[in-house]
Chains A and B, each alone.
Chain A
Amino acid sequence: MIQHIRENRRLQGFLLILPAMFVMVTLLVIPLTLTVITSFGQRDADGNVIYTFTLENYWRLLGFTEQGWDDLYLRILLRSLWLAVQTTVIVILMAYPLAYFIARSPEKRRNFLLFLVLVPLWTNFVIRIYAWVMILRSQGVFNSTLGAMAGLLNVPFQPLDLYPSQTAVLIGMVYEFLPFMILPIYTSLEKIEPSLYEAAADLYANAFRTFWRVTVPLSMPGIVAGTILTFIPVIGTFVVSDILGGRQVILVGNLVQRQFLDARNPPFGAAASIILLVMTLVLTLYYTRRFGLGEEIAAG
């Protein structure tokens, strides 16, 4: 038996991928297939799934209901998409200068700074998001600080109505995904040969032009990787919007969750998650075709 494995390289390869394959099949392929099947099904009065083939769930999501045109779900989809785009853009704008700063710090200090970037991740994600409730609510840290400052300056102050709101969700998302953008951008910036900056300066490019012609193009793999690591989780999230947005901010993730758990309508929830999946795949494919595949995913 052992002898047989030793001589057969194909068998060796198969045995090596077996554990990972087992996980992928049982936890991805089978559930995904079930979801696709369910999404074409219907629900009976008691909330049980009837397996048939109907496109009704999809039509409803796209706005064509039995009662006529209703763009409720389309708006949810677009809101999720818009929030994901906003989050990604803000995260890139905030992460880039920081990653640049770390990459150009003395080598000894870099690891410490990266460590600081990762420290928040040691706390549970849900706890960190709840912390933002404490900060943003009307009697929270943010408003009381502003109030105190207003008091000192003797100006009238009305607490800002930040929580719950879509802005609060955006703040939470940006906070949550900042490290996942910093790390890949840092990795690609750190790889840039310092002599390239000198070469650009030598060829009459000032700091500004060097940045746009050399630094940014060469850190593109990091930006792409960070975008994928941010955009995909954000577009499907439901925890952050649940906690920071309350009932006001319903995203596709919340829709799916509620259809399965509260409304007891798995076929509709399944259809929503398939639409989300297709949307994410299409956007990601377009994006990576356009900007190249982020080589930093593994490193980030």
Chain B
Amino acid sequence: MAEYAVELRNVWKRFPGPGGEVVTAVKNVSLQIYDGEFFALLGPSGCGKTTSLRMIAGFELPSEGEIFIHGRPMGKTPPYQRPVNTVFQSYALFPHMTIGENVAFGLQMKGVDKKEIARRVAEALEMVRLSGYEKRKPKQLSGGQQQRVALARALVNRPEVLLLDEPLGALDLKLRKEMQLELKRLQREVGITFIFVTHDQEEALTMSDRIAVMEGGVALQVGTANDIYEHPNCRFVADFIGETNFLDGTVAEVDTDKARIDLPGGVSLWAHTPQRVAVGQAVTVTVRPEKMHIRPNATDVNQVTGYVTDIVYIGTDTHYGVVLSGGQTIRVREQNYSAESRLLAREGEAVCVRFSIEAARVLTE
């Protein structure tokens, strides 16, 4: 068996647009998804993540490039001959069939014998905790229950890969959190590769082994949640995942893996450089708010000064808005360690914001 459950090799997808122009939804995307992995395609709407998923399912065919499932090129294989199943955003349960009939549908189409179908349907419904709902119609179930039927209907076929298109999009926040854990549990239980499309970065971080961040049809970065959060490779990824500060400046001095960056207003700071930079190059430095401190800390090399413009207390943290001498606004997040955590500064007060070299990261794109 091939190493990858799914591989996209230089895949392009072009659609005819409404005005006759060509819309390129997916641009030269190459992805390798490992067997048994929980993989997320993350990005804002229109980034090409759903189109990519639909190409794996076979609902769309790539304009260029090839998709492999366990090493087998899919070519023009129609959806009903692909070893994958999909959980649709709208669930797409057959309204004229009972829950039992919905779940049995795929097995019937495959010609599995009746006894086996009955056994596996019961097993699948038990897995999603819906035993006893066989005779109901989809309309009689709540959104969360319908979602679980959709999961059972797909998983009962034991696909090589399960594709999920924003499956939690229609659920309210609390149910969503529950289903995130539920999905994770199911995936561990069945050991099937899950490919999951979402625009919710928190959801992707919570659930996935690896994430591909997509924008404008391009897969910008692929990595673990930690990789993508701590080592974003471009401005879009840094901005899309979590909250961050951007400081634009020019490279003044280059060391092996760090550089001194001059910011407007006569401030300079040292930042980590994952890519090679040259003196005089215009770059952006990103620093996560929780890695900046107003609290005195001797080990932090970088120090910038500014005035506090606003303070937001949100319980676990207090957020400070600070305007630097160069005019840039940054946000600093201080964790409230103890109940007595006092304010570290007042509005209008001059403060010194500190952070380490590792916390600051130079982005060239």
Which chain A residues have a beta carbon within 8 Å of chain B's beta carbons?
193, 195-196, 198-206, 209, 213-214, 217-218, 220
Contact = CB atoms under 8 A, between A and B. Distances in A.
A121 to B, nearest CB: 32
Contacts of B81: 204
Contacts of B322: none
B78 A203 contact: no
A294 to B, nearest CB: 15
A209 B58 CA distance: 18
Interface string B41-82: 000000000000000011100000000000000000011110
B4 interface: no
A100 B88 CA distance: 24
Interface stretch (B102-110, B115-123, B203-211, B250-258): B102-110
Contacts of A220: 96
B265 to A, nearest CB: 54
Contacts, number: 59
B94 A201 contact: no
A218 B86 contact: no
B106 A203 contact: yes
B90 A203 contact: no
Contact of A203 (B89, B95, B96, B105): B105
Interface in B289-327: none
B90 A198 contact: no
A218 B92 contact: no
Chain B, interface size category, equals 20 to 34
B198 interface: no
A195 B90 contact: yes
A203 B59 contact: no
A201 B94 CA distance: 12
B85 interface: yes
Nearest to B58: A201
Contact of A204 (B89, B93, B96, B106): B106
A202 B96 contact: no
Contacts of B245: none
A206 B90 contact: no
B92 A204 contact: no
Nearest to A205: B109
Contact of A198 (B79, B95, B109, B153): B79
B59 A198 contact: yes
Given A209-B109, A217-B96, A199 B80 contact: no
B157 interface: yes
A218 B95 CA distance: 8
A165 to B, nearest CB: 41
20 contacts: A193-B92, A195-B90, A198-B59, A198-B79, A199-B86, A199-B92, A200-B94, A201-B78, A202-B59, A202-B79, A202-B85, A202-B86, A202-B154, A203-B80, A203-B85, A203-B106, A203-B153, A204-B80, A205-B80, A206-B78
Given A203-B109, A205-B105, 13 more contacts: A195-B92, A196-B92, A198-B86, A199-B94, A201-B80, A202-B80, A202-B84, A203-B105, A204-B81, A204-B157, A206-B80, A209-B109, A217-B96
B81 to A, nearest CB: 8
Which of B84, B94, B95, B153 has the most chain A CB atoms inside 10 A of its CB? B94
Nearest to B109: A204
Contact of B57 (A202, A209, A218): A202
Contacts of B78: 201, 206
Contacts of B86: 198-199, 202
Nearest to B96: A217
Given A195-B90, A209-B109, A201 B95 contact: no
Contacts of A204: 80-81, 106, 109-110, 157
Given A198-B59, A198-B79, A205-B80, A193 B90 contact: yes
Contacts of B57: 198, 202
Contacts of A205: 80, 105, 109
A203 B102 CA distance: 10
A202 B58 CA distance: 8
Nearest to A204: B109
Contact of B96 (A201, A206, A209, A218): A218
A193 B94 CA distance: 10
Contacts of B94: 196, 199-200, 214
A201 B105 CA distance: 11
A118 B79 CA distance: 38
Contacts of A200: 94, 105
